[in-house]
């Protein structure tokens, strides 16, 4: 168990760093958006590349930020009963959900997204707009994001198993009140 908990901490650290990169990507997207709007209105200059990089950055922020969102327990929960049950029951709900639903779905999404990216990369797929950007970098965010989310799900699974076994406590996992 100590090795698995060390692996969990390493995954958490990786996704925390990637989350910090996402913070800067948000700033970059805002600056590009503001700069593009200012140049369009002040000088009647604009570029399709500036418009496209905004949605590409948004895609990167969402796909790369999902893993740190899971780590921070800030993801959306569908289970209405979750907020009414004890922390021990929550652990079991999380265990079952991660094993039966999250991990298999992430494996499937990763498996489906790799050829989607690979075909785009192989064909050097670009936007049809004049001055548009290549599509493969943003399509790469899909398998990368699903892989990072899979790793974080494994980390969460390790922590839940350790908590059920009494090796660690997870008060911080449930610090956010559910509404």
The confidence score (pLDDT) of residue 82 equals: 74
Residue 172 has pLDDT above 50, yes or no: no
For 110, the token pair is: 């990763």
pLDDT tens for residues 121-158?
Answer: 999 988 888 878 999 999 999 999 999 999 999 999 99
pLDDT tens for residues 9-42?
Answer: 999 999 999 999 999 999 999 999 999 888 888 8
Question: Which of 69, 55, 56 shows the shortest CA–CA distance to 149?
Answer: 69
Within a domain: 122: yes
Provide the CB-side half-sphere exposure for 25 (13 A, CA). 19
Number of domains in the chain: 1
Choose between 171 and 170: higher pLDDT. 170
Within a domain: 32: yes
Q: What is the three-class DSSP state of 46?
A: coil
* Residue reference for tokens 């996704």: 15
Question: pLDDT confidence of 101, banded at 50, 70, 90?
Answer: very high
Task: Report yes or no: 164 and 96 within 8 Å, Cβ to Cβ.
Answer: no
Within a domain: 18: yes
Q: Which residues pair with 134 in a beta bridge?
A: 126
Task: Report yes or no: 149 and 70 within 8 Å, Cβ to Cβ.
Answer: yes
Neighbour count for residue 8 (Cβ, 10 Å): 21
Average pLDDT over residues 42-70: 90
The confidence score (pLDDT) of residue 19 equals: 94
Provide the residue range defining the domain that includes 58.
2-174
- What's the CA gap between 3 and 11, in Å, rounded? 12
Within a domain: 140: yes
- What's the CA gap between 20 and 26, in Å, rounded? 10
Choose between 175 and 178: higher pLDDT. 175
Within a domain: 179: no
Provide the CB-side half-sphere exposure for 89 (13 A, CA). 7
Within a domain: 41: yes
Residue 74 has pLDDT above 70, yes or no: yes
Question: pLDDT confidence of 6, banded at 50, 70, 90?
Answer: very high
pLDDT tens for residues 56-65?
Answer: 999 999 999 9
Q: What is the three-class DSSP state of 178?
A: coil
Within a domain: 153: yes
């Amino acid at each position: 168990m100590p090795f698995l908990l060390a692996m969990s901490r390493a995954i958490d650290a990786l996704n925390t760093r990637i989350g910090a990169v996402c913070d800067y990507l948000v700033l970059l997207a805002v600056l590009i958006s503001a700069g593009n709007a200012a140049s369009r209105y002040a000088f009647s200059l604009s570029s399709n590349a500036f418009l496209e990089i905004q949605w590409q950055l948004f895609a990167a922020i969402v796909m790369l930020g999902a893993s740190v969102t899971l780590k921070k327990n800030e993801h959306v929960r569908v289970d209405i009963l979750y907020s009414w049950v004890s922390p021990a029951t929550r652990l079991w709900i999380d265990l079952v959900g991660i094993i039966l639903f999250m991990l298999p779905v992430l494996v499937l999404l990763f498996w489906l997204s790799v050829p989607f990216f690979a075909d785009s990369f192989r064909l050097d797929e670009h936007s049809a707009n004049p001055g548009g950007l290549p599509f493969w970098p943003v399509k790469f965010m899909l398998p990368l994001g699903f892989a990072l989310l899979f790793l974080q799900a494994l980390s969460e699974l390790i922590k839940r198993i350790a908590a059920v076994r009494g090796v660690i406590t997870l008060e911080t996992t449930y610090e956010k009140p559910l509404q």
